[in-house]
C-alpha cells in the first residue's frame, strides 16, 4: 500500500508513505480488508507529517502511476469464491487431523566458526546437517532459541516454552554437552510471570548477564538479571512502558546502544514494521529514531535473532519473512547505514525451511553451534508423543 502525491499529468507520483502489509488470515476477506483500512489510516497520517516536515518532495521515491484497472467480472468472483470455499473446507479437515503451526528447535552440531557459517548460502536449510536435538512433547511447543557460551566453556540454551493447556509462554533452559553434542537433561523453567513471555534475548553488561524476554502482553519491555546463572533471574529494569513491542533486540556500536523492536500501532499487527531506538546505556532512557518505523515491509521487518558481523565485516540483521504466513522464512539483510537520523539496509537473501516443514524463524549462534526455529504440523492422533527426528 502506497500513499502517493500524483503529478499534474497523472502519470507519476512521489511516495509519501508505504507498507507491505502482513495478512494473517487471507481466507477471511472482511478481516483482511479491515486490516488494510486501518493501515491506510496510519499511512495517511504519516504522509501528512512528511508533507509538513519536508521542504521539497523531489527527493522522495518516484513511481509510475498504474493504468486503468481491469474490470471485475462475475467469472472472477465465482472463481475466487470457489477457491475460498475449498481452502476453508481443507483447513477444517487439517485442523481435525493436525495441530497446526507447532514449533520446535533445530540444532547444527558440526562445530561452526561464529555466526557467519551456514547463513551465507541461499539454499534451503535442509542442505546443512540439522537435527531436532531437543525432544518436544505434543502438549507444548519450543520457540525463539538463544544460545549463550559461558566463561567455563559450557553452552546454554534459553527459549520460549508454551504449554497448549495454558497458552502462556515461559522461559525454559537446557545445557549442551560440547563433547557429546547432546542436551543435558530435560528443559526446566527459569523465568515465569503472570503474562506471556517469549524471545529471551541475552546480553552481558559490566560483568552481569541480562535477558530481555518479550513482555508485550504486559505492554512493557523488561530486563532481568541473572542472580545465579543460568537458573535464577530477577527483575532489573523496565526499558519502556505502555508499548506493545515484539522481539526487542539490542546491538551496540561504539558508545551507542540500539534497540530494535516491532511496535504495534492501534489494532494493527507487529509483523510488518520495525522501529529503532538509541541510548548511551542499555537500560535507557531510550530515544525513538527520527525515521521510525525504519522498515515497513512484512518480508523483513520483525527481528529473528542477534545482529552480527559476517566474515566480510558486514553488519547483518536476521528477520522474519511473514509474507506467506507468520514465521514462514528468514531474510538476512545488511545494515548499510545506522545513525541517529537515518537507517538503511539491503536484503541479501532468504532462507526457506525444508519442504516438509512450514516455517522457519529465529537464527542464533554462539561460535560453536547454531540454532533455529522450525514450524511443522503434527498428527493429533499419532501414538508417538515425542518429537526428535532428523530433519
Does residue 217 sit in the same domain as residue 125? Answer: yes
Q: Which three cell numbers stand for residue 158?
A: 534459553
172: in domain: yes
| C-alpha span between 137 and 143 (Å, rounded) | 13
Distances (CA, A) of 119 to 29, 188, 311, 316, 352: 37, 29, 11, 10, 11
86: in domain: no
The whole-number pLDDT of residue 30 equals 85
Does residue 112 sit in the same domain as residue 168? Answer: yes
124: in domain: yes
The whole-number pLDDT of residue 238 equals 97
Does residue 64 sit in the same domain as residue 129? Answer: no
DSSP H helical segments within the chain, as ranges? 29-53, 74-97
Rounded to a whole number of angstroms, the CA Rg of the chain reads 22
- 3-state secondary structure at position 300: coil
| C-alpha span between 58 and 175 (Å, rounded) | 56
Q: What is the pLDDT along the chain (391 residues), one digit of tens a residue?
A: 999 999 888 889 999 999 999 988 877 888 888 888 989 999 999 999 988 888 888 888 889 988 777 788 899 889 988 988 898 888 888 888 877 888 988 877 654 444 444 555 544 555 455 665 565 677 889 999 999 988 877 889 999 999 999 999 999 999 877 666 667 778 899 999 999 999 999 999 999 999 999 999 999 999 999 999 999 999 999 999 999 999 999 999 999 999 999 999 876 778 899 999 999 999 999 999 999 999 999 999 999 999 999 888 999 999 999 998 899 999 999 999 999 999 999 999 888 887 778 888 899 988 777 888 888 887 777 665 444 433 3
- Which residues fall within 8 angstroms of residue 56, CB to CB, at 6 or more apart? none
Asked whether the beta carbons of 268 and 19 are under 8 A apart, the reply is no
Does residue 222 sit in the same domain as residue 328? Answer: yes
Boundaries of domain holding 185: 102-387
Q: Which of 308, 315, 320 is nearest to 338 (CA)?
A: 315
Does residue 138 sit in the same domain as residue 278? Answer: yes
Positive or negative: CA dihedral 355, 330, 83, 379: positive
Does residue 119 sit in the same domain as residue 64? Answer: no
Number of domains in the chain: 2
Give the helix/strand (H/E) hosting 188: strand 182-191
The whole-number pLDDT of residue 292 equals 94
Residue 258's CATH number: 2.115.10.20
Does residue 246 sit in the same domain as residue 317? Answer: yes
Q: How many other CB atoms are found less than 10 A from the CB of residue 263?
A: 21
- Before 275, cis peptide (omega within 30)? no
Asked whether the beta carbons of 331 and 318 are under 8 A apart, the reply is yes
122-130 LR contacts (CB < 8 Å, sep 24+): 122/349, 122/350, 122/351, 123/351, 124/351, 124/352, 124/353, 124/354, 124/355, 125/351, 125/352, 125/353, 125/354, 125/360, 125/372, 125/391, 126/353, 126/354, 126/355, 126/391, 130/106, 130/372, 130/391
Distances (CA, A) of 364 to 40, 65, 73, 221, 284: 35, 42, 49, 21, 25
Does residue 106 sit in the same domain as residue 47? Answer: no
45: in domain: yes
pTM: 0.89
Cell 539490542 sits at which residue?
250
The whole-number pLDDT of residue 176 equals 79
The whole-number pLDDT of residue 112 equals 43
Amino acid at each position: 500500500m502506497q500513499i502517493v502525491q500524483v503529478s499534474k499529468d497523472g502519470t507519476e507520483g512521489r511516495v509519501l508513505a508505504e507498507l507491505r502489509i502482513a495478512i494473517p488470515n487471507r481466507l477471511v476477506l472482511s478481516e483482511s480488508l479491515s486490516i488494510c483500512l486501518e493501515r491506510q489510516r496510519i499511512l495517511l497520517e504519516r504522509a501528512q507529517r512528511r508533507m509538513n516536515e519536508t521542504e521539497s518532495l523531489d527527493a522522495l521515491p518516484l513511481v509510475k502511476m498504474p493504468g486503468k484497472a481491469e474490470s471485475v467480472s462475475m467469472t472472477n468472483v465465482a472463481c475466487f469464491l470457489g477457491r475460498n470455499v475449498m481452502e476453508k473446507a481443507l483447513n477444517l479437515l487439517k485442523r481435525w487431523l493436525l495441530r497446526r503451526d507447532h514449533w520446535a528447535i533445530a540444532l547444527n552440531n558440526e562445530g561452526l566458526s561464529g555466526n557467519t557459517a551456514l547463513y551465507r548460502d541461499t539454499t534451503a536449510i535442509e542442505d546443512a546437517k540439522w537435527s531436532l536435538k531437543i525432544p518436544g512433547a505434543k502438549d507444548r511447543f519450543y520457540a525463539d532459541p538463544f544460545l549463550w557460551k559461558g566463561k567455563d566453556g559450557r553452552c546454554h540454551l534459553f527459549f520460549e516454552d508454551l504449554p497448549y493447556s495454558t497458552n502462556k509462554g515461559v522461559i525454559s533452559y537446557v545445557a549442551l554437552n560440547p563433547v557429546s553434542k547432546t542436551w543435558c537433561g530435560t528443559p526446566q523453567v527459569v523465568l515465569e510471570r503472570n503474562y506471556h513471555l517469549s524471545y529471551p534475548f541475552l546480553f552481558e553488561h559490566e560483568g552481569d548477564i541480562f535477558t530481555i524476554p518479550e513482555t508485550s502482553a504486559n505492554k512493557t519491555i523488561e530486563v532481568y538479571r541473572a542472580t545465579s546463572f543460568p537458573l535464577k533471574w530477577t527483575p532489573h529494569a523496565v526499558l519502556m512502558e505502555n508499548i506493545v513491542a515484539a522481539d526487542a533486540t539490542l546491538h551496540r556500536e561504539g558508545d551507542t546502544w540500539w534497540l530494535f523492536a516491532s511496535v504495534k500501532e492501534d489494532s494493527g499487527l507487529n509483523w510488518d514494521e520495525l522501529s529503532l531506538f538509541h541510548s548511551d546505556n542499555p537500560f535507557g532512557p531510550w530515544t525513538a529514531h527520527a525515521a521510525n518505523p525504519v522498515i515497513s515491509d512484512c518480508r523483513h521487518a520483525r527481528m529473528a535473532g542477534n545482529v552480527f558481523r559476517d566474515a566480510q565485516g558486514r553488519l547483518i540483521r536476521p528477520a522474519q519473512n511473514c509474507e506467506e504466513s507468520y514465521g514462514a522464512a528468514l531474510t538476512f539483510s545488511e545494515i548499510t547505514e545506522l545513525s541517529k537520523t537515518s537507517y538503511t539496509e539491503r536484503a541479501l537473501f532468504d532462507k526457506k525451511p525444508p519442504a516438509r516443514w512450514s516455517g522457519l524463524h529465529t537464527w542464533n549462534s554462539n561460535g560453536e553451534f547454531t540454532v533455529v526455529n522450525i514450524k511443522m504440523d503434527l498428527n493429533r492422533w499419532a501414538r508417538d508423543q515425542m518429537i526428535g527426528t532428523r530433519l
